[in-house]
Amino acid sequence: MVNLLHLVLSLLWLRSCEGFRFSYKRDFPAIPITLTGYNGKAASYDLELDLESPLTLVFGEECQEAGFCTQRAVKPFHPTMKTYEYDLFDTSLNRASQFRGRMHREKVEIGAISKNLSIGVALSLQNMNNPAELNADGSLGLGFLNRRVAIIDHLFEHAGKPEERKSLIIKQSRYSPVWSTKEKEHFYPEQEGQIFLAAGENVAGCDDFDWFDTMSNNGTPSWYLNGSITVLNRTEYTKISFIPSAFTKSKKLKSMIPMDIEEDTAFPNITIRIEDSEYVMTHEDYVTLPMKGAEHLHRSVFADSRNENITLFGMDMLHRYCVALSKASDGTYQLGLAVNNGSGTLSCGIFTGFLAFILVYCNYSGFGS
């Protein structure tokens, strides 16, 4: 009986820890990865999530200091494996800054997942006067290109069985800007959240997901949806995607929010429509300066996206909604949105400890013998 219980609990542990789950406590969501060269030396990096680019990007020594390639200092990467003979040109829509560098073939590890992939090592900026706003050591490219570069399908392969839905789910904590009397401005306290790879339709902490088929470009999948945004009596149609590591970027939204409002509570709701579903941002999400006077305005000083037909919703929306990058059981790529109900999740580490306690208890108590 004890042996049978051991087997059942072991199978439960394997099923619960499929894929990975990371908790973060920092400015924005990030995933830790390890890069290992042919010499066996490994280095770890925290990477932001980039749904646009297929390329995982880190920075060489030339870019490590603040103000060169990024506004903050970054941890430099020392390539050890094959260098390709052509320049990297990073074209992610999520970033206004463009990098040049080299492609390298390295062993990439995320949790228990290990793959040899081509990664980009940025060595310089296209425009040296425009350092990137990057809140991590690089970015994990979750877009699509080919399996030598794109990591997303490799992740899905480890998330569950072929007949199951596989999802990379981002669940951010609720945030609220805090007024600093000393600095006379608002700041955001350190955020908490979870990023995990899982199988199935639901996850603790998120209500039921609405699933939407994503758009493709000449047969290449993407993480874009067709939708619309409405402010007051004005509606604009737009391509919609998400930028978890930044605030919303949208030229259209920037032009739709009235600029003559003086009270923060008077700023209008933003309604996002995707197929038959609606999602709402209120002034509490995007108004960060509750003071009178237009000189103190608001988050509708939304950063411009590089394409006026694309709206990238960021953490000012995603603290209310869980977002899932998903591959359905029929192979269709879908994006999912669910209300973030704020409840916690049970990590593999906690669950493993719980199972270990049961196994030890059963051994010492003689349960089932």
Query: In this structure, what CATH number is given to the domain that contains residue 296?
Result: 2.40.70.10
Q: Which two tokens stand for residue 307?
A: 């394409």
Residues 105 and 125 in one domain: yes
Domain stop point among 109, 128, 158: 158
- Residue 16 is assigned to a structural domain of this protein: no
- Residue 13 is assigned to a structural domain of this protein: no
pLDDT of residue 266: 83
Residues 204 and 314 in one domain: yes
Residues 179 and 216 in one domain: yes
Residues 93 and 204 in one domain: no
Where the chain has pLDDT below 70, the residues are 1-19, 80-97, 128, 147-148, 174-190, 288-306, 343-369
Residues 173 and 321 in one domain: yes
| Gap between the Cα atoms of 43 and 64, Å rounded | 15
Residues 154 and 171 in one domain: no
Read off the pLDDT of residues 120-178 as tens digits, 9 standing for 90 and up: 888 888 776 778 878 889 999 999 977 667 889 989 988 888 889 999 999 987 666 66
Range of the domain at 52: 30-158
pLDDT of residue 92: 66
Residues 258 and 170 in one domain: yes
pLDDT of residue 12: 38
Cβ pair 239, 310 in contact under 8 A: yes
| Gap between the Cα atoms of 143 and 62, Å rounded | 26
Q: How many domains does the chain have?
A: 2
- Residue 17 is assigned to a structural domain of this protein: no
- Residue 197 is assigned to a structural domain of this protein: yes
Could you give the angle at which helices 2-16 and 348-365 cross, rounded to 10 degrees? 180
Domain stop point among 101, 135, 158: 158
- Residue 288 is assigned to a structural domain of this protein: yes
pLDDT of residue 20: 77
| Gap between the Cα atoms of 305 and 250, Å rounded | 5
- Residue 151 is assigned to a structural domain of this protein: yes
Burial annotation 327-340 (CB, 10 A radius, 16+ → b, else e):
bbeeeebbbbbbeb
Domain stop point among 158, 184, 200: 158
Residues 319 and 225 in one domain: yes
- Residue 55 is assigned to a structural domain of this protein: yes
Residues 177 and 246 in one domain: yes
- Residue 111 is assigned to a structural domain of this protein: yes
Residues 251 and 150 in one domain: no
Residues 106 and 207 in one domain: no
Residues 182 and 149 in one domain: no
Read off the pLDDT of residues 293-315 as tens digits, 9 standing for 90 and up: 444 444 445 666 667 889 999 88
